[in-house]
């Protein structure tokens, strides 16, 4: 007797084949269509919101700055300079040494 030959007898229920797995093409298309529909709804909502807001502002001219008088410019310059701390030569040299070393 050959030991490699399988002579077992199985019940009839075991001879039935398992149901074939269906391909997921219908499900894939449904998911694709739902995602596409969601993107279209989102694009529509954004379009309406931008249209109500007045667009991206590309067609509107930029507001013109109000020119300052010479006195106001000088005052602003002095105010800005007063905010900058004054350093003596030793402090500048020390900072340069720290920066380069």
pLDDT value of residue 56: 67
pLDDT value of residue 97: 93
Structure tokens belonging to residue 64: 């013109």
pLDDT value of residue 5: 83
Per-residue pLDDT of the chain (101 residues; tens, 9 = 90+): 567 888 888 888 777 776 677 666 788 889 999 999 999 999 999 888 888 877 666 666 778 888 989 999 999 999 999 999 888 999 999 999 999 98
CB 68 within 8 A of CB 76: yes
Q: What is the maximal distance between C-alpha atoms in the chain?
A: 117
Model pTM above 0.75: no
């Amino acid at each position: 007797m050959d030991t490699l030959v399988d002579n077992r007898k199985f019940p009839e229920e075991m001879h039935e084949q398992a149901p074939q797995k269906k391909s997921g093409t219908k499900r894939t298309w449904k998911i694709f269509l739902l995602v596409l529909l969601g993107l279209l709804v989102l694009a529509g909502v954004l379009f309406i919101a931008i249209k109500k807001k007045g667009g991206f502002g590309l067609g509107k001219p930029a507001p013109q700055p109000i020119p300052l008088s010479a006195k106001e410019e000088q005052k602003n310059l002095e105010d800005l300079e007063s905010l900058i701390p004054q350093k003596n030569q030793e402090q500048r040299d020390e900072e340069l040494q720290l920066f380069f070393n």
